[in-house]
Amino acid sequence: MKHLFTTLLAMLGLCSACQSQDIPTLEPQAYEEALHTDTAAVLIDVRQPDEYAEGHLRGAQLLNVLDTATFQAGIAALDKSKHYYIYCRSGRRSHNAATQMKAIGLQVTDLKGGITAWQSAGKPIVKE
């Protein structure tokens, strides 16, 4: 019985380690610099279409994480040789998206504080 309990604890530890993936998160200034210097950079906005239309980072592609089927299909089609820089409004959705992306082998960096922090830092957004 003691051996079974120890084995179960070890398995739980391994499972939680698998799920807690280390996602790089950068402040707006460092994020902007990384985007400009990374030759394999692809910028993705994971918010909803209406949020994207209100303003987004220049060059960002929209891939709505809340549209689960489209998001899953979209990330499955991404090039694993690229580095994906993602953001949302405040960081919660992009962290969720980054976790999913990293789980399938993509290189991901998240914007700490999302577009809200970006704008607070005086960084530009565009509207299309």
What is the full per-residue pLDDT of the chain (128 aa) written as tens digits?
454 444 434 444 444 334 446 999 999 999 999 999 999 999 999 999 999 999 999 999 999 999 999 999 999 999 999 999 999 999 999 999 999 999 999 999 999 999 999 999 999 999 97
Q: Hey, where are the domains in the chain?
A: 23-120
Distance of CA 9 to the CA centre of its chain: 30
Torsion of CA 99, 102, 108, 113, to 10 degrees: 10
Cβ neighbours for 55, distance < 8 A, ≥ 6 positions apart: 115, 125, 126, 127
Q: What topology is assigned to 23-120 in CATH?
A: Oxidized Rhodanese; domain 1 (3.40.250)
